[in-house]
């Protein structure tokens, strides 16, 4: 039985991905900052571990407890929506710490064991914001765009050892906690000077033409983990697929 470790499984994409792999008879290590057993199906194939991807000691403890990992899914992250001008640099650093450096740290932690076995796959979940410029998402896009370049380069160097690196690029999912999973409120990041610019954008967010479901992302992660064609990017959701094709 293969083992997958997924970060950020307390809600949204990570939670649905954990459910999906459990249903496919994988051994799942679901990690979250504050472990909760009630949100996942009871299964002998499930382990829940505490993990803060911004904390070096937490990463080391989780990897040690996990044991051999066949697949790592870097899903944990935080969102930020608002005018870049109004976004505190302290919060931007927090976003980069989770979305960028946290992903890199997790990858660096599992590569040695995968290299020793000459097998494994690392899937980094980014965003459709990397596929086309989007307003009011500059800091968030920067954090995810960095992982796009990182993963592409990593894929080349790890292929020598039989390890794959993949990208899953979700679109906009209104039901996820993207905007809530942050300590800064959206309304605090929209100064009066930006109000007339932001209003139609938020109206479009409220009634999007195309959206992404959590199941779309879980299925894209499944496809990425099991891919044998060398494909790097897996857009997830109708809107992401449309952007990907346009790009």
For residue range 230-243, list pLDDT tens digits in order: 999 999 999 999 98
CA dihedral 164, 169, 175, 176 (to 10 degrees): 60
Active-site residue list? 140
Q: Which residue has the tokens 């979250």?
A: 32
pTM score: 0.94
Domain ranges in the chain? 3-246
Rounded Cα distance between 133 and 89, Å, is 21
Rounded Cα distance between 56 and 228, Å, is 32
pLDDT tens-place string over residues 176-221: 655 555 567 788 899 899 999 999 988 888 888 888 999 999 999 9
The SS3 of residue 18 is: helix
pLDDT tens-place string over residues 121-165: 999 999 999 999 899 999 999 999 999 999 999 999 999 999 999
What would the two tokens of residue 188 be?
Answer: 């605090």
Pairing of strands 120-125, 3-6: unpaired
Q: How buried is residue 1: exposed, middle or buried, by Cβ count under 10 Å (0-12/13-18/19+)?
A: exposed
Superfamily of domain covering 3-246: NAD(P)-binding Rossmann-like Domain (3.40.50.720)
Q: DSSP 3-state helix, strand, coil percentages of the chain (rounded to 5)? A: 50, 15, 35
CB-based burial, 207-224: b 16+ in 10 Å, e otherwise: eeeebbbbebbbbbbbeb
């Amino acid at each position: 039985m293969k083992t997958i470790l997924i970060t950020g499984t307390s809600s949204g994409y990570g939670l649905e991905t954990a459910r999906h792999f459990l249903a496919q008879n994988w051994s799942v290590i679901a990690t979250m900052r504050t472990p909760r057993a009630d949100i996942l199906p009871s299964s002998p194939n499930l382990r829940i571990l505490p993990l803060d991807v911004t904390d070096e000691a937490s990463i080391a403890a989780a990897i040690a407890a996990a044991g051999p990992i066949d697949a790592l899914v870097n899903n944990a992250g935080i969102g930020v929506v608002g005018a870049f001008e109004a976004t505190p640099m302290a919060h931007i650093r927090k976003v980069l710490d989770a979305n960028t450096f946290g992903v890199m740290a997790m990858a660096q932690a599992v590569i040695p064991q995968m290299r020793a076995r000459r097998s494994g796959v690392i899937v980094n979940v980014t965003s459709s914001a990397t596929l086309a410029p989007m307003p009011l998402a500059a800091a968030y896009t920067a954090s995810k765009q960095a992982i796009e370049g990182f993963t592409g380069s990593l894929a080349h160097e790890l292929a020598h050892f039989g390890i794959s690196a993949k990208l899953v690029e979700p679109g906009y999912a209104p039901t996820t906690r993207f905007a809530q999973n942050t300590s800064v409120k959206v309304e605090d990041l929209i100064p009066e000077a930006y109000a007339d610019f932001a209003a139609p954008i938020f109206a479009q967010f409220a009634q999007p033409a195309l959206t992404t479901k959590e199941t779309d992302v879980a299925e894209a992660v499944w496809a990425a983990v099991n891919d044998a064609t060398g494909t790097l990017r897996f857009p997830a959701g109708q809107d992401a697929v449309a952007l990907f094709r346009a790009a």
